[in-house]
């Protein structure tokens, strides 16, 4: 994997009501410009982003996650994160966003949440 790459895949189990994406690689200043438009374009009522494959998250990546959360909330839609690796948990916590962003231990927990 090149040093600054983020692969985002929409799971085939996604529906019109719930879309689940998996992310693998680095969610950083080098990758957010390709990442943001893809998730912003999703029309599902709920979007869950599985971050277990993210090896690095920086402040630009956190900014992108907050931007997605706010833009979806303004549209009456939901955005949540699942399976954050320890480094991502640390960055989100230092940024003080653990109480703003919906964060779930697993994709299954996030999917089970009722809107």
Which CATH number covers residue 28?
A: 3.30.750.24
pLDDT of 4 strictly over 90: no
d(CA 87, CA 109): 21
Percent of the chain with pLDDT over 90: 86
The total number of residues written for the chain in this structure: 115
What ranges in the chain are assigned the alpha helix state H? 32-40, 59-74, 86-94, 107-112
Calculate ∠ Cα 26-87-46, nearest 5°: 70
36-60 pLDDT tens trace: 999 999 999 999 999 999 999 999 9
Number of folded domains in the chain?
1
Asked whether residue 115 carries a pLDDT value surpassing 80, the answer given is no
The answer to whether residue 46 is domain-embedded is yes
In a domain, 48, yes or no: yes
Per the domain annotation, does 1 fall within a domain?
no
Residue 115 lies in a domain: no
| Residue 28 structural domain | 6-109
- Is the dihedral angle over the CA atoms 63, 64, 67, 72 positive or is it negative? negative
10-29 tens-digit pLDDT? 999 888 899 999 999 999 99
């Amino acid at each position: 994997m090149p040093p600054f790459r983020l692969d985002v895949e929409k799971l085939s189990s996604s529906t019109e009501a719930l879309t689940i994406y998996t992310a693998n690689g680095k969610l950083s200043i080098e990758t957010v410009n390709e990442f943001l438009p893809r998730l912003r374009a999703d029309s599902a009522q709920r979007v869950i982003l599985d971050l277990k494959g993210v090896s690095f998250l920086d402040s630009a990546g956190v900014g992108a996650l907050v931007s997605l959360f706010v833009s979806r909330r303004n549209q009456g839609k939901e955005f949540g994160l699942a399976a954050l690796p320890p480094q991502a948990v640390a960055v989100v916590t230092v940024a003080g966003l653990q109480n703003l962003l919906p964060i779930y231990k697993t994709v299954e927990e996030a999917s089970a949440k009722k809107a």
